[in-house]
C-alpha cells in the first residue's frame, strides 16, 4: 500500500500536539488538587466531591475519607496564556486588515540599557510579540555607561521619527540616570508604557490615555474571565507608579471592571493581614516572594499576583525559580479565582503594551 507521507507526517504532528496539550491540562489539574489537599486535607468531605476527583484524591493521597466539612469552592485559574492569546489574536487580525489597505504597520521602538538578565528577557518577549502580531519593532541597545543626555537625545530622535508609534525605555535604568527625566523625555503621544505624567493625569481624570501595561493587562484579564468587580472591596498591596497606584485608580473608576471600593496598602500599613482579609479582590504587587499567605485571604476572594521575584534554587535548571507575591499552594484553595506565577499577569502585561502600541498608531500613525 502506498502512503502519502505529506499527509501522514502532519497528522502525526497534530496527534502528538494534542496529546501534549492534554497532558499539560492534566498536570495543571494535579497541581491544583495538591494545593487543595495541602490546605484542607482534614476538612474534605469526599461525598461532596465529584466522583472523578474522589478517585484521583484517593489514588494520590490514600486519605482516609472520614472527613468533616468541605470548605472548598471551585477555583478558577486566571490563565494569562489564554487571556493574552485572545488579545494577541485580535490585534493580529487588526494588523492584517491594516496591511490589506496598504498602509504602514504600527511600529514599537524599545531601548534596552546594559545587560540586566531580566530586562533582556522582557524586551526579547516584547519584540517577539511584535513580530507575531505583525508590528514593526526596533530594538536599540545602549551601554550602561551612556549619559542621561545621550539617552535623551536617542529618545528625541524617536519622538521625531514619524515611522515610530510607540517608545519604551526598559526599566530599571542605571543609577546615574534619572528615571523621571527619561520618562518626561518621551513624547506623551508615543508613551505606550503610560508612565508620562500626562498619561497618568488623564488616567486619574478618566480620560482616554495609555494605561500602564501591567494594570491594563490585569483589567483585560478581569474582562476576559468576566470577574465581577462592581461593589467589591479591592485591596491593592503596593503603590508604585508602575503597578499599585494605577491599579487602584482603575479598580475604583466608574467603568466596566471597576467600581470597587479600594484600599491601597504599602510598607507603612499597619494591620495588613486584617485589611487583606476584608478584600474580595486582592492585587499583590509588592515584590516579596510568597508574602500573601492563606491566613490573609478571605474564602472565595479573587487573587491577582503581580510579583515576579527570582528565588535562588540550586535544584532548578537556571539556579533560580520565579515566585509570585502569593504563596500559591496554600492560598489557591481558598480563592474563587487566582493568577498563577508564571503564566498569569506577566503575559497580560505584554498584551497591554501591544494594545497601547496599536492605539498610538491609530492616533498618530497612518
Ligand atoms: P516597587 O516599585 O518596589 O513597589 C513595591 C510596593 O510594595 C511599594 O509601594 C512598597 O511600599 C510596597 N511594599 C513593599 N514591601 C511591603 C510590605 N512588606 N508590606 C506592604 N507593602 C509593601 O515594585 P513594583 O515595580 O510595583 O513591582 C512589584 C512586583 O511586581 C515586583 O515583584 C515586580 O517584579 C513585579 N512586576 C511584575 C510585572 C508583571 O508583568 N508581572 C510588571 C511590573 C512589576 P512603599 O511605597 O511604602 O515602599
pLDDT in tens, 128-175: 999 999 999 999 999 999 999 999 999 999 999 999 999 999 999 999
More confident: 52 or 216:
216
- pLDDT tens per residue, range 9-52: 555 555 655 565 555 545 555 655 555 554 454 444 444 444 44
pLDDT digits (tens, 9 = 90+) for 192-209: 999 999 999 999 999 999
HEC assignment per residue over 188-207: HHHCCCCCCHHHHHHHHHCC
Residue 126 known to be catalytic: yes
CA–centroid distance, residue 238 to ligand 1 (Å): 5
Sequence-ordered list of residues with C-beta below 8 angstroms from that of 34, at least 6 positions apart, any chain: 60, 329
The yes-or-no verdict on residue 189 having pLDDT over 70 is yes
Domain 83-206+351-364 CATH class label: alpha beta
Residue 348 has pLDDT above 80, yes or no: yes
Catalytic residue selected from 79, 126, 191, 355? 126
255 annotated active-site: no
The predicted model scores a pTM of 0.83
Domain spans of the chain?
A: 5-61, 76-81+209-344, 83-206+351-364
Task: Note the pLDDT of residue 199.
Answer: 98
pLDDT band for 364, please (50, 70, 90 cuts). confident
Cα of 308 to ligand 1 centre, how many Å?
9
Domains 76-81+209-344 and 83-206+351-364 share a fold: yes
Output the CA 239–ligand 1 centroid distance in Å. Answer: 7
Is residue 141 helix, strand or coil? strand
Q: Does domain 76-81+209-344 have CATH number 3.90.1310.10?
A: no
* Among 217, 275, 284, 306, residue to substitute to test ligand 1 (most atoms within 8 Å of Cβ): 306
Q: Give the three-state DSSP class for 11.
A: helix
Q: Whose CA is nearest to atom 8 of ligand 1?
A: 238
Dihedral sign, Cα of residue 164, residue 170, residue 171, residue 172: negative
Q: How far is the CA of 317 from the centre of ligand 1 (A)?
A: 26
Cell 466522583 found at: 51
Q: What is the pLDDT of residue 74?
A: 73
Residue 69's pLDDT is 38
Q: Higher-confidence residue: 16 or 187?
A: 187
- List 165, 193, 305, 325, catalytic entry: 193
- Reply yes or no on whether 97 is catalytic: no
Amino acid at each position: 500500500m502506498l502512503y502519502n507521507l505529506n499527509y501522514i507526517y502532519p497528522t502525526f504532528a497534530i496527534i502528538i500536539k494534542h496529546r501534549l496539550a492534554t497532558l499539560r491540562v492534566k498536570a495543571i489539574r494535579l497541581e491544583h488538587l495538591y494545593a487543595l489537599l495541602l490546605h484542607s486535607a482534614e476538612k474534605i468531605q469526599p461525598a461532596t466531591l465529584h466522583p472523578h476527583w474522589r478517585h484521583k484524591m484517593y489514588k494520590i493521597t490514600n486519605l482516609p475519607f472520614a472527613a468533616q466539612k468541605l470548605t472548598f469552592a471551585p477555583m478558577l485559574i486566571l490563565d494569562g496564556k489564554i487571556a493574552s492569546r485572545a488579545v494577541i489574536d485580535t490585534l493580529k487580525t487588526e494588523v492584517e486588515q491594516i496591511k490589506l489597505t496598504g498602509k504602514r504597520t504600527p511600529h514599537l521602538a524599545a531601548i534596552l540599557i546594559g545587560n540586566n538578565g531580566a530586562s533582556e528577557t522582557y524586551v526579547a518577549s516584547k519584540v517577539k510579540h511584535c513580530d507575531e502580531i505583525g508590528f514593526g519593532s526596533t530594538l536599540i541597545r545602549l551601554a550602561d555607561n551612556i549619559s542621561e543626555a545621550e539617552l535623551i537625545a536617542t529618545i528625541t530622535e524617536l519622538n521625531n521619527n514619524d515611522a515610530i508609534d510607540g517608545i519604551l525605555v526598559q526599566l530599571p535604568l542605571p543609577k546615574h540616570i534619572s528615571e523621571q527625566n527619561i520618562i518626561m523625555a518621551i513624547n506623551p503621544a508615543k508613551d505606550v508604557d503610560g508612565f508620562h505624567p500626562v498619561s497618568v493625569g488623564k488616567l486619574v481624570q478618566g480620560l482616554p490615555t495609555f494605561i500602564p501595561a501591567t494594570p491594563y493587562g490585569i483589567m483585560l484579564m478581569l474582562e476576559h474571565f468576566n470577574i465581577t468587580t462592581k461593589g467589591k472591596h479591592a485591596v491593592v498591596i503596593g503603590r508604585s507608579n508602575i503597578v499599585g497606584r494605577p491599579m487602584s485608580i482603575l479598580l475604583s473608576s466608574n467603568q466596566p471592571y471597576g467600581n470597587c471600593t479600594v484600599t491601597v496598602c504599602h510598607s507603612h500599613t499597619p494591620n495588613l493581614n486584617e485589611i487583606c482579609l476584608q478584600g474580595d479582590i486582592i492585587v499583590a504587587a509588592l515584590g516579596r516572594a510568597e508574602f500573601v499567605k492563606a491566613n490573609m485571604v478571605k474564602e472565595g476572594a479573587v487573587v491577582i499576583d503581580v510579583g515576579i521575584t527570582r528565588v535562588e534554587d540550586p535544584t532548578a535548571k537556571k539556579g533560580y525559580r520565579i515566585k509570585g507575591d502569593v504563596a500559591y499552594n496554600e492560598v489557591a484553595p481558598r480563592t474563587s479565582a487566582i493568577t498563577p506565577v508564571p503564566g498569569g499577569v506577566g503575559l497580560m502585561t505584554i498584551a497591554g503594551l501591544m494594545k497601547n502600541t496599536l492605539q498610538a498608531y491609530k492616533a498618530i500613525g497612518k
